[in-house]
Amino acid sequence: MLKISVEPEVALIDVERRITISGATPHSKITVQSLTNRAGFEWTSEAVFEADAQGVVDLTRDAPLSGDYQGVSAMGLIWAQHHGREGMLPQFNKDLSQPLETVLTVREGEKNADAHLIQTLMADGVTREEVRVNGLVGTLYRAAGDQPAPAVMIMNGSGGGINEPRAALYASRGYHALALGYFGAEGLPKYISNTPLEYFEKGLDWLRETVKPKDDFVAISGQSRGGELVLLLGSTFPEKVSAVIGYVPSAFVHGGQAAADPQFGRDGPCWLYQGKPLTHIWDNNRFASWKPYDDGEQPRRNSLAMHTALADPEAMRIARIPVEKIAGPVMLISGGDDGAWPSDYYSLLVQSSLLAAKHAFPVEWYNLPEAGHSILFPYVPATQIVHAHPVNGNLTTMGGDAKHNAQANEASWQAVLKFLQQATADKN
């Protein structure tokens, strides 16, 4: 009898599954399809396999003959999912306590069988609290249990909003996690322009006071502009930041760029400190130009413009984030085909600055040469590479391809968990 099985059937979203088909005709061609309802939208994938001499297909061993992904990938049917619509669609249910349920269907001729693959974002005991206090806007996910736990504060990039999925997953892995919004969410400015760093200092203080983290450990984690931000915060408030995790970060202060308030323009200030704008790399830069982006073919590649600014050493010197002031371990994650900005080069500069300063803490750089800008976390669809920017609306490519971005999602998350485990152990 034809059968498809998933082991384990129910687990956290970052757990790889073993998907196997048995009972097929030896050496027959079978089709496997996936269907997931994500926030009301259907995402699907399909692949065709050849059964072995025992009538078995094992996705941890076998590559498809054809379909939506190539090569051996245990979770290829998940990361290769697509929705067939224009624009970006959410990958998670609005209520993160509701798991993502994928139906897997195998067909051989007239025979078929189904199985379910259920991904959760909130482990048993994790709780969610909205934060609307003292001007802060975010969501706190508390790790399960009554014992003290370390904490992480998470910031999004130029898309704005509140990164609840990542906070839920951090909490599920044992960290109190505050997803802190700073623009692009209800109760916050619409744009990134003129964001005061003191807002995040207040967030760090509130998080410490509220969850009383184990060993007073509070890491900060940010993506893209959030990656730039966490390096800035670690440099500006070193006594309040225990560790820094920068996903596709920048080594330099940048202006408002794609998420800027039109009143100030993309070359206007992004970050303020003590009421003054931080000098960014476009300020008085002799060579910085938006022309390669503005005149580029669709979908546009923002990194082409970013490279022009790197021709002015003096502007780079002034706008460089003084990462040597960070008083804790630093982890950098980058993609070699980053369409937004050269996060691999930026990460190299950050690492070099820290090593040259004989940084007293571990420095890790995890570069994925063929990945793009959208390095998220594992076993989610990696097919949304080209999209209209959520703030300025320009059609933009983030770079990479689904296969390599999916590999980066998986590998980087495991590296982050290992990094945090070591950082918290060293704090003892």
Q: Using an 8 Å Cβ cutoff, are 192 and 183 in contact?
A: yes
Does the active-site annotation cover 224? yes
Q: Which helix (H) or strand (E) element contains residue 233? A: helix 225-236
Long-range contacts, stretch 274-280, CB < 8 angstroms, 24+ apart: 274/198, 275/196, 277/194, 278/232, 278/253, 279/253, 279/318, 279/319, 280/252, 280/253, 280/254, 280/255, 280/319
Does the active-site annotation cover 373? yes
Q: Beta-carbon neighbour count of residue 116 at 10 Å?
A: 12
Among residues 280, 373, 387, 389, the one annotated as catalytic is 373
Measured CA to CA, the distance from residue 97 to residue 17 in angstroms comes to 20
DSSP structure class, residue 99: P
What 3-state DSSP class applies to 324? Answer: helix
Q: Which helix (H) or strand (E) element contains residue 210? A: helix 197-211
Among residues 14, 337, 338, 344, the one annotated as catalytic is 338
Residues with Cβ within 8 Å of 11's Cβ and at least 6 positions away in sequence, in order, are: 17, 118, 119, 120
Residues with Cβ within 8 Å of 352's Cβ and at least 6 positions away in sequence, in order, are: none
Does the active-site annotation cover 343? no
Measured CA to CA, the distance from residue 412 to residue 425 in angstroms comes to 20
Among residues 224, 250, 353, 412, the one annotated as catalytic is 224
Active-site residue numbers? 224, 338, 373
